[in-house]
């Protein structure tokens, strides 16, 4: 399925959190924990400050939130990696999938979205429901470069202490899971295909992602 702003607001990720808790595959964050996390990220910001959000995976091709500007952006010190196991969204407990996270080292090109100050509360709350379902990711302010302009943005990096952190996996292992895993949010292969298609459309030719896609196509 392609989730949307409406399905998120109607509790799709809350349902996934409840299922994850019931099956014992992860401990979901509570509403209070998510709210506290968001408050911490915004602490000290002027009330009239716009917010930039950096997307490197599904946020590039399905942001599902409202924004007033969209720009190509680059970050340094982090790279895109299939490093987070997903036992529900794009997989099952018996056959978990893998989704992208930002892991340490290198650089990453993606999309930066500017959220107007007046939309901050509604749109960031929506993003926290989506990205902070459990302890897989950590929200972080990072420096970004958009052409000649430099600013900072919120993004979600991998939590290396989390139980679902996959680390650096062999190509064959990544490809095998992406080729076969599927869950409530759709197949892992579709997630990969959509990411590579949109990277190419943005002029971001990432050889490592194409190697993974070619290996997956060889398995299906």
Mean pLDDT, consecutive 10-residue stretches, the chain (220 aa), reads 88 95 96 96 95 97 96 97 96 97 97 97 96 97 97 98 97 97 95 95 92 94
Kindly report the pTM of this predicted structure: 0.96
What local confidence, expressed as pLDDT, does residue 1 receive?
63
What's the DSSP call for residue 134? S
Largest CA distance in the chain: 51
3-state SS class at 140: strand
Q: List all residues 6 or more positions away from 207 whose beta carbon is below 8 Å from its beta carbon.
A: none
d(CA 212, CA 172): 8
What local confidence, expressed as pLDDT, does residue 2 receive?
74
Task: State the CB neighbour count (10 A cutoff) for residue 64.
Answer: 18
| Active-site residue, from 15, 18, 66, 131 | 131
CATH class held by domain 5-168: alpha beta
What local confidence, expressed as pLDDT, does residue 220 receive?
74
Q: Domain ranges for the chain, please list them.
A: 5-168
Question: Is 131 labeled as catalytic in the residue annotation?
Answer: yes
User: How large is the angle between the packed helices 12-23 and 120-131, nearest 10 degrees?
Assistant: 30
């Amino acid at each position: 399925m392609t989730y949307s702003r409406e399905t998120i607001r109607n509790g799709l990720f809350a349902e996934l959190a409840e299922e994850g808790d019931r099956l014992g595959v992860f401990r979901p964050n509570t509403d209070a924990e998510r709210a506290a996390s968001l408050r911490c990220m915004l602490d000290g910001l002027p009330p009239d400050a716009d917010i930039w959000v950096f997307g490197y995976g599904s946020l590039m091709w399905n942001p599902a939130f409202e924004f007033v500007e969209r720009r190509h952006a680059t970050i340094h010190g982090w790279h895109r990696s299939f490093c987070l196991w997903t036992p529900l969204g794009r997989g099952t407990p018996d056959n978990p999938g893998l989704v992208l996270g930002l892991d340490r080292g290198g650089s990453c090109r993606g999309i930066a979205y500017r959220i107007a100050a007046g939309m901050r509360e509604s749109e960031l709350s929506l993003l926290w429901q989506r990205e902070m379902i459990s302890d897989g990711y950590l929200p972080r302010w990072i420096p970004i470069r958009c052409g000649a302009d430099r600013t900072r943005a919120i993004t979600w990096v991998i939590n290396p202490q989390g139980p679902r952190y996959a680390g650096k996996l062999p190509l064959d292992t990544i490809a095998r899971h992406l080729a076969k895993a599927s869950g409530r949010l759709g197949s892992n292969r579709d997630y990969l295909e959509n990411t590579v298609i949109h990277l190419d459309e943005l002029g971001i030719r990432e050889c490592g992602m194409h190697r993974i896609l070619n290996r997956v196509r060889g398995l299906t």
